[in-house]
């Protein structure tokens, strides 16, 4: 809700006598409603235009639901992050007990940042003090810089279904190492139980031993644990396919 008409990017007058109850208990008429664009990523809709209001009111639940974002309130500021990309989409500075949304336009500073080959914010502040006034380093975000500093993308969400011990065994073969170990083995094979994450490692002199090692492992599960392997999951390496 706001009392400021010129903030609206789209606007329509409210017919009838729609009223809202404000803090002092009185009813205030709603003059109009529609949308306000507060940043590149956030458009508030619907916003009520209430001329008798003495300050702007922002509903955090409306904002987080409609813009699919999270908010984090810190002593000096608060930040809004897009839930799907994790990108910071807006921020607000604390001043005398209230958080003030940052509506400054970053486009010119970002343009210079790109032109100059993505220098740090400290360097930009030194070069363009007027564009960086009233700005903290956490205010300034460049997507390219953030992605370029990532070492790896996050793992996709796993559709893991809990298993029972030994129903699913993951296996892989590694080698050959250019340096053999003391017993002249250059390969190793792993069997990992999906449920317990227990891992068995066997050393091999060459790939042809995979068959006998697997048969031993298979017998060991049957005799020691009185159960059977139901699924053997591999990368379809040829070492797992043979007549036996
Ligand atoms: Zn950058």
pLDDT band at 170 (very low <50, low <70, confident <90, very high): very high
Classify residue 41: in a domain, yes or no: yes
- Ligand 1 centroid to Cα of residue 117, in Å, is 7
Q: Which domain does 118 fall in, by range? A: 104-136
Classify residue 111: in a domain, yes or no: yes
pLDDT band at 173 (very low <50, low <70, confident <90, very high): very high
Classify residue 131: in a domain, yes or no: yes
Domain co-membership, 97 together with 118: no
Mean pLDDT for 143-152 is 81
Domain co-membership, 1 together with 50: yes
Rounded CA gap, 201 and 215, in Å? 14
Three-class SS state of 117: coil
Task: Kindly compute the dihedral angle of the four CA atoms of residues 79, 82, 86, 89, in this order, to the nearest 10 degrees.
Answer: -50
Three-class SS state of 62: helix
Domain co-membership, 7 together with 19: yes
- Ligand 1 centroid to Cα of residue 92, in Å, is 22
Domain co-membership, 83 together with 128: no
**Domains identified in the chain, total number:** 4
- Ligand 1 centroid to Cα of residue 120, in Å, is 8
| HEC assignment per residue over 163-225 | CCCCCEEEEEEECCCCCCCCCCCCEEEEEEECCCCCEEEEEECCHHHHHHHHHHHHHHHHHHH
Classify residue 150: in a domain, yes or no: no
Domain co-membership, 44 together with 85: no
Mean pLDDT for 173-179 is 91
Classify residue 155: in a domain, yes or no: no
Classify residue 179: in a domain, yes or no: yes
- Ligand 1 centroid to Cα of residue 113, in Å, is 6
Single residue among 136, 155, 184 that ends a domain in this structure: 136
- Ligand 1 centroid to Cα of residue 145, in Å, is 4
Domain co-membership, 225 together with 172: yes
Mean pLDDT for 79-104 is 82
Q: Is the peptide bond before 211 cis (omega within 30 degrees of 0)?
A: no
- pLDDT tens string 6-61: 888 888 888 778 888 887 888 888 888 888 887 767 788 889 998 888 888 888 89
Rounded CA gap, 144 and 116, in Å? 13
Rounded CA gap, 148 and 138, in Å? 17
Mean pLDDT for 121-136 is 81
Domain co-membership, 86 together with 43: no
Within 10 Å of residue 221's Cβ, how many Cβ atoms? 19
- pLDDT tens string 94-127: 888 888 876 656 678 888 899 999 998 888 888 8
């Amino acid at each position: 809700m706001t009392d400021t008409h010129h903030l609206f990017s789209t606007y329509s007058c409210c017919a009838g006598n729609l009223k809202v109850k404000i803090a002092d208990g009185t009813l205030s008429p709603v003059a109009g409603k529609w949308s306000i664009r507060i940043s590149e990523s956030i458009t508030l809709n619907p916003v009520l235009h209430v001329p008798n209001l003495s300050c702007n009111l922002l509903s955090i639940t409306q904002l987080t639901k409609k813009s699919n974002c999270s908010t984090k309130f810190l002593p000096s500021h608060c930040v809004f992050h897009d839930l799907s990309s994790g990108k910071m989409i807006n921020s607000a500075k604390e001043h005398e007990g209230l958080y003030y949304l940052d509506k400054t336009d970053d486009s010119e500073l970002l343009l210079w940042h790109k032109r100059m080959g993505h220098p740090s914010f400290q360097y930009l502040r030194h070069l363009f003090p007027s564009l960086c006034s009233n700005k903290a380093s956490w205010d300034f975000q460049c997507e390219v810089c953030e992605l370029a500093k990532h070492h790896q993308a996050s793992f996709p969400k796993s559709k893991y279904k809990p298993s029972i011990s030994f129903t699913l065994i993951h296996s892989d073969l590694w080698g050959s190492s250019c340096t053999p170990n003391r017993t002249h083995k250059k390969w190793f094979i792993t069997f990992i139980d999906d449920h317990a994450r227990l891992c068995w490692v066997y050393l091999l002199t060459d790939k042809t031993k995979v068959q006998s090692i697997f048969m031993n492992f298979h017998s060991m599960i049957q005799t020691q644990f009185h159960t059977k392997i139901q699924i053997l999951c591999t990368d379809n390496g040829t070492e797992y396919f043979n007549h036996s």
